[in-house]
Amino acid sequence: MTVTVRIARTSGEQVFAVESLAQQTVLDALFYIQNELDPTVSFRCSCRVGMCGSCGMVINGKEGLACRTSLKPLGGDVTLQPLRHVPVIKDLVVDMEGFFSKYRMIEPYLQPRSEIVAPIVAPLDSHIRQEIDLGLECISCGLCLSACDVVGMVPEFLGPAALNRAYNLIADVRDDKTEERLRVVGQSRAGVWQCHTHMSCVEVCPKNIAPTRAIAHLKRTLIRRRVVGPKKRPIPKLQRILQEEI
Rg of the chain's alpha carbons, rounded to an integer?
Answer: 21
How far the first Cα of the chain sits from its last, in Å, is: 61
Considering only residues 233 and 44, tell me which one the structure prediction assigns the higher pLDDT: 44
% of residues, the chain, pLDDT over 90 = 72
Contact between residue 133 and residue 74 where contact means Cβ atoms under 8 Å apart: no
Pairing mode, if any, of strands 56-59 and 77-81? antiparallel
**pLDDT tier for residue 23 given thresholds of 50, 70 and 90:** confident
Residue 62 CB neighbours (<10 A): 13
Question: pLDDT tens for residues 70-103?
Answer: 998 998 999 999 999 999 999 999 999 999 999 9
What is the reported pLDDT for 124? 76
- Rounded CA gap, 122 and 237, in Å? 9
- Protein fold of 97-228: Fumarate Reductase Iron-sulfur Protein; Chain B, domain 2 (1.10.1060)
| Closest to 118 in 3D by CA, of 243, 234, 233 | 243
Say what the pTM is. 0.89
Q: What is the per-residue pLDDT for 172? A: 86
pLDDT at 116: 75
Per-residue pLDDT, 146: 97
What confidence tens digit (pLDDT) does each residue in 94-132 have?
A: 999 999 999 999 999 989 888 777 777 777 777 777 878
Quick check: 229 and 107 in contact, CB under 8 A?
Answer: no
What's the mean pLDDT when you consider all of the chain?
90
Domain boundary assignment for the chain: 2-94, 97-228
pLDDT digits (tens, 9 = 90+) for 47-63: 999 999 999 999 999 99
pLDDT higher than threshold 60 for residue 12: yes
Residue 152 has pLDDT above 80, yes or no: yes
Query: For residue 157, which phi and psi values (nearest 5 degrees)?
Result: -55, 130
CB 184 within 8 A of CB 106: yes
pLDDT for the residue 237: 58
pLDDT tops 70 at residue 222: yes
- Check pLDDT > 60 for residue 243: no
pLDDT at residue 211 greater than cutoff 60:
yes
pLDDT band at 154 (very low <50, low <70, confident <90, very high): very high
User: Is it the case that residue 6 has pLDDT exceeding 90?
Assistant: yes
* Domain 2-94 part of CATH 3.10.20.30: yes
* pLDDT at residue 232, as a whole number: 64
